[in-house]
Structure 1
């Protein structure tokens, strides 16, 4: 099966799980508060349904448009825009007849489920598979440093000892910390044996985003090929797993970062000559990098990856911590969406699908599902009419002001929110289509 279909199946399965559980988060408290739920749908049933069955007072179904799902709660101004129902007198089983605190719990139910689900999945992943990390001792060759970071005092071969004075469990996370978190100092051990604590400029994450340098620290690795991407230049040139690159256009290469730099700084981007060793014999070939300076090879890492297992109690604590920082980091980087560059990188279902691996892997599937669940919780709680957060915003106004916004205002707000969401959906998926066509 092609990688595209494997990713598509994972995306569909993941979203189905998350949508059903999110809607159950609204459905269950609604039923507990004796509020009538008229529909419970996975995906949208525009004009027709793939499946539907009425059980009690609720129609359960599967729509054909996989853009989400919904529960239709009686007496509520929502995306159904059911004005006829709202025109009649309030009934005791309707949403609008319930106390504000009950309506608030119903509206927060979906987001609450998504947050809890994300945390629980992370706990289960850590309990089942443990975690992988690379410690200070596991990386004796240190990092290759991007040129713009050398002005701060970093040097090729630096080994990370601590960030903000705290020892790192996984030194590979240094780039992530710099981009997402408040890093003030990094303590390194230079190849000379000298230890130095380097001050990090404020706003370094923004600098990294604007410059496009998101991985200023690259593990120093020998240029030994680990895998070749089919149909790309290296594959066509006959390179194989285990080949060790020795020169690029006659220039000796000792480390992988030197190879990448030589490829990217080549002026012609045409027919680059490579020498490599295979089974003790030196061979030569030529490759042509694509527009991104890539030839389709992955390198074999030269550092040790340690795996750690956790007890059930440890998994709960570690999973909660992982979930918290996942949410924290997503909120921290959300500000970049409002920049020109950030807006151009917003993605829709294609971008979400690409989060999944192109070969089935349960650990990766559940990790991505947990991440999407936490994203959905954050996005849904934004104070935009037509989202849960919009309803919560108006309910909080009602609780504080002591009166409801009038129905006509709510109808207009819901319509405006729906138009905004459709616009954002079209924009995000339009970005996916543009990248698929032009980013070759």
Structure 2
């Protein structure tokens, strides 16, 4: 990490803070994190405004200690502590009467509230355990604007309906348009994608996999109250295939002119969230059973959407998958998660007529997959052999007790 965006200050000038008390929320390239106070004292000054992007080492907050000594809070890399991030400046909030209620809302939801000038304390959450959602913010703003509309219309009623003599000389109205802020995670995603495309010569290989037997097997498991996602099987088969073709579980070190074959098989799961794409990692996936992979996958996906991932959840990936089939995708040329060597995307599964080996036509459940790989590290023939191995494992349940368990 080299920089971060100041999202929200949790304290204001004059506040007394304790050691490790969260002071500011910072948006890194992958997550929103809190920067805790390194010492107890009183907030003397806040040096950087919200919305600013600062580099590591920037002074954000000045604390006055009990003995009148000044303590400086600086933007620090996330790597120095599992709970640290970068710092920021406070945003003025409307005074709240009485005791301040506990607010449950994701950092992204709080950000939306600030952009609309909404005091989040005035909103009643409709989510689980009273969590405030983005929809709650939009509903509140809509109701607020509707109440304000009649008064605004009354003020704008012209006293004299006679058109102005020079009305025909007025300028044409400026076209209106909406804007989406290009900062925070979206900006960091753009930087990483650009770096990957400009650095890695991408080649994408396509394959189709017959999942008929797998889906039938999962249906039988459900009758025994065992629920396992197809992706858990995919991950297990990929770790087996990666061990046979380790060049795809590698990272190119150009400075030292070596390809480093990773010893761990840490599978990144590309996950779509409200705030953009994020890639939590299942560490040592090859050492987990399919049941354990399913549980881990479900947990990481849930916490990614809630903005509750830790720094450790996002580190150490060696190979990434993207399961876009549930969204309806039939094909893509995915961008590699630099500095990894390859990425596999799983697309929509649909029933199709297939000519079998005995020349008979049967209806089968077919899934498209695409694999992008770094052509500096591996060649097309190796990529085809890799996907053929994965395909073999997925289409032959008799191999699972031997290969996947």
* TM-score interval, normalised by the smaller of the two chains: under 0.3
RCO comparison, higher one (Cα < 8 Å, 6+): 1
User: Is the helix fraction higher in 1 or 2?
Assistant: 1
User: Is the strand fraction higher in 1 or 2?
Assistant: 2
TM-score by length of 2: 0.26
TM-score by length of 1: 0.25
